[in-house]
């Protein structure tokens, strides 16, 4: 629900379309329950009343619908007043994941329409919390099987695939599987309609309730065949003058009230003041920066982790004692996604020079974990890092950063994409990309809150970070005591 201001307007447009076309079906192609700030806190439950109010008729699972584990996905789906499909994700016994239906047949204006759903082969790399024994069955083979069954056994007139795959994989399936009439896809976050002669249309309706596709299947009533597909795109939901749906506005108000209550709860106990002052964190090592960088490094089990100081925005000292969810979300307010890359040492050194390349209080200044540097600001920019040493978690002594070695490095997607002057990091290969990475808020919640939850029980990263950072409890809360320890030395 990351763009909640769009949702009441989107809902009003959808209700209007449903009124205009009362026999039409409302379809959703995955990633309903996560990711968002609300999802990190409410574990996807905020979306159940929203989806029901939207009047969804059928949906397919997306990879992020499993961000809180299969058990939670099943519970969330059970709260929805419509079926969830997934035809090609099964466990070791061949059972479909999360109690998904393999297919669905519905009567629509005198025609039988068959639906099935496909997950992309990239799901295992993009979904931390899929059951360990699950596997993705080949989408092409699954589509061929489902088309044959729906056409010959279920005797449907039309076949529609709901997919949560990248467009190239959609195109592969469409090219190899004649007999489909329409693909309604998710996973790609951009709006697109792909039409090729002799192929069925592929409609991708964007993300975050920015776009609504009204899809008209024009058919020949006599021979019960598809003539063409017309797609109408509605996309003005960021316009504040567009009318809002009152029922959806009321639901969002309830969600915001829930969020406010939970944000005020204590997340952890800090035995020391946490220094989040911008002027300090953008010019020197801080204990809050060390805490966040250590959290990131241990979560992803990387050689090194960076947190750029511009992403730390609370601009205050958080006093010792109980620290609320709001305090920590305020420290990291942007909802950035943490990713990992394989970075060669010489490019790391260039990045470190960029970190100290501006003597002003600049957001590019890095808080570090697994790395120590010595800096002389009197030297010209680009030559200020006198030494850089890697501090492996498994070694007692640091070693000089090797310009020719490849290091695993965790960072936010913003600098991984080369922003803030980090051009040297942009071309490095991702190990964990934005799609499979964890947001700042979600990582904080996974590590410090609800350690016994379904998702956390499966999450090695959360356990690893918790064990590294939390040595005891105070007032029933995980206690931390980060210090400034000379990771960044100025001479």
Residue 480, beta-bridge partner list: 270
Indicate whether 161 and 33 sit together in one domain: yes
Cβ 138 vs Cβ 144: under 8 Å: no
Percentage of the chain beyond pLDDT 70 is 97
> Count H helices, E strands: the chain?
17, 29
Q: What is the mean pLDDT of the chain?
A: 93
Confidence band for 257, pLDDT divided at 50, 70 and 90:
very high
In sequence order, the β-bridge partners of residue 13 are none
Domain identity same for 207 and 273: no
* Same domain, residue pair 145 and 171: yes
As a whole number, mean pLDDT of residues 243-269 equals 96
pLDDT greater at residue 2 or residue 17: 17
| One domain, residues 106 and 239 | yes
d(CA 328, CA 311): 12
Q: pLDDT at position 119, please?
A: 98
Q: Is 2 domain-assigned? A: no
Query: Domain check: are 371 and 240 in the same one?
Result: no
Mark whether 228 and 279 lie in a shared domain.
no
Q: Residue 472: what pLDDT? A: 94
Please check whether residues 100 and 120 belong to one and the same domain: yes
Task: Give, for 274, the enclosing helix (H) or strand (E).
Answer: strand 274-275
Q: Are 139 and 119 in contact (CB under 8 A)?
A: yes
Confidence of residue 48 (pLDDT cuts 50, 70, 90): very high
How many domains is the chain partitioned into structurally? 2
Cα torsion at 188, 232, 80, 127 (round to 10°)? 0
Dist. CA 61–CA 74, nearest whole Å: 11
Task: Please list, residue by residue across 153-175, b when 16 or more beta carbons sit within 10 angstroms of its beta carbon and e when fewer do.
Answer: eeebbbbbbbbbbbbebbbbbbe
241 and 276 together in one domain: no
Q: What pLDDT sits at residue 2? A: 53
> Among the listed ranges 13-27, 447-461, 464-478, which one has the minimum average pLDDT value?
447-461
d(Cα 209, Cα 231) in Å, to the nearest integer? 17
CATH number at residue 98: 3.60.21.10
The residues, ordered by sequence, that sit 6+ positions from 465 with a Cβ below 8 Å of its Cβ are 294, 295, 298, 299, 443, 447
- Whether residue 473 is contained in a domain is answered as yes
Domain-terminating residue out of 259, 277, 312: 259
pLDDT class of 455 with cuts at 50, 70, 90: very low
**Short-list 16, 32, 363, 5, CA closest to 210:** 5
Q: Residue 33 in contact with residue 64, Cβ under 8 Å?
A: yes
Would the pLDDT of 451 be above 70?
no
Same domain for 467 and 360, yes or no, is: yes
SS3 call for 205:
strand
Per-residue pLDDT at 373:
98
Q: Percentage of the chain surpassing pLDDT 90?
A: 85
Residue 460: which CATH number? 3.90.780.10
Q: Name every residue whose Cβ is closer than 8 Å to that of residue 452 and which is 6 or more positions away in sequence.
A: none
Cα separation, 381 vs 179, in Å, equals: 62
Q: H-helix or E-strand containing 119?
A: strand 111-119
Instruction: Tell me the residue length of the chain.
Output: 491
Containing structural domain, residue 352: 266-490
Same domain, 251 and 273: no
Are 277 and 231 members of one domain? no
pTM > 0.75: yes
Is pLDDT of 241 > 70? yes
| Per-residue pLDDT, 334 | 84
Question: Is residue 185 in a domain?
Answer: yes
Asked if 3 contacts 208 with a C-beta cutoff of 8 angstroms, the reply is yes
- pLDDT recorded at residue 98: 97
Does the structure show a pLDDT above 90 at 128? no
Domain-ending residue, one of 239, 259, 279: 259
Query: Which single residue is written with the structure tokens 């790399």?
Result: 125
Residues 118 and 218 in one domain: yes
324-376 pLDDT tens trace: 999 999 999 888 899 999 999 999 999 999 999 976 667 899 999 999 999 99
pLDDT per residue as tens digits for the range 88-127: 999 999 999 999 999 999 999 999 999 999 999 999 877 8
In a domain, 363, yes or no: yes
CA separation for the pair 370, 301 (Å, rounded) = 11
Mean pLDDT of 60-82: 95
Q: If you search the block for the tokens 């939901």, which residue do you land on?
A: 237
Assess if residue 1 is contained within a domain: no
The residue out of 259, 275, 306 marking a domain boundary is 259
Three-state DSSP state, 328: helix
Q: What is the pLDDT of residues 267-296, one digit of tens each?
A: 999 999 999 999 899 999 999 999 999 999
Q: What is the pLDDT of residue 35?
A: 87
């Amino acid at each position: 629900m990351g763009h909640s201001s769009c949702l009441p307007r989107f809902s009003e447009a959808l209700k209007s379309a449903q009124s205009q076309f009362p026999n039409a079906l409302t379809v959703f192609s995955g990633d309903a329950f996560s990711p968002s700030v609300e999802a990190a806190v409410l574990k996807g439950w905020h979306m159940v009343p929203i989806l029901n109010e939207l009047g969804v008729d059928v949906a397919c699972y997306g990879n992020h619908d499993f961000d809180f584990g299969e058990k939670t996905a099943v519970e969330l789906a059970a709260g929805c007043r419509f079926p969830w499909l997934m035809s090609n994700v099964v466990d070791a016994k061949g059972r479909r994941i999360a109690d998904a239906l393999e297919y669905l047949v519905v009567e629509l204006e005198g025609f039988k329409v068959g639906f099935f759903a496909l997950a992309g082969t990239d799901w295992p790399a993009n979904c931390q919390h899929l059951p360990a024994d699950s596997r993705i069955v080949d989408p092409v083979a699954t589509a061929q099987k489902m088309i044959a069954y729906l056409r010959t056994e279920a005797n449907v007139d039309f076949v529609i695939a709901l997919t949560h795959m990248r467009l190239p994989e959609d195109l592969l399936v469409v090219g190899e599987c004649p007999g489909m009439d329409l693909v309604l896809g998710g996973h790609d976050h951009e709006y697109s309609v792909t039409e090729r002669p002799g192929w069925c249309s592929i409609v991708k309706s964007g993300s975050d309730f920015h776009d609504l596709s009204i899809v008209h299947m024009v058919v020949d009533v006599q021979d019960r065949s598809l003539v063409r597909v017309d797609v109408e795109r509605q996309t003005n939901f960021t316009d504040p003058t567009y009318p809002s749906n009152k029922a959806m506005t009321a639901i969002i108000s309830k969600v915001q009230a829930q969020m406010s209550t939970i944000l005020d709860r204590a997340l952890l106990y800090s035995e020391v003041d946490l220094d989040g002052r911008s002027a300090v964190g953008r010019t020197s090592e801080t204990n809050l920066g060390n805490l966040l960088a250590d959290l990131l490094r241990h979560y992803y089990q990387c050689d090194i982790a960076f947190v750029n100081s511009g992403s730390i925005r609370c601009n205050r000292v958080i006093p010792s004692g109980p620290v609320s969810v709001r305090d920590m979300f305020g420290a990291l307010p942007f909802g950035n996604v943490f990713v990992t890359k394989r970075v060669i040492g010489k490019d790391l050194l260039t990045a470190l020079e960029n970190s100290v390349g501006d003597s002003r209080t600049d957001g590019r200044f890095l808080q570090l974990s697994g790395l120590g540097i010595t800096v002389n600001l009197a030297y010209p920019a680009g030559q200020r890092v006198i030494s850089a040493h890697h501090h492996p978690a498994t070694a007692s002594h640091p070693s000089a950063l090797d310009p020719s070695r490849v290091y695993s490095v965790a960072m936010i997607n913003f600098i991984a994409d080369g922003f803030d002057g980090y051009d040297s990091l942009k071309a490095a290969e991702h190990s964990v990309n934005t799609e499979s990475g964890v947001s700042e808020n979600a990582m904080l919640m996974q590590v410090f809150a609800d350690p016994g939850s379904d998702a956390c029980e499966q999450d090695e990263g959360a356990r690893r970070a918790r064990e590294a950072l939390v040595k005891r409890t105070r007032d029933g809360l995980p206690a931390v005591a980060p210090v400034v320890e000379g990771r960044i030395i100025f001479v």
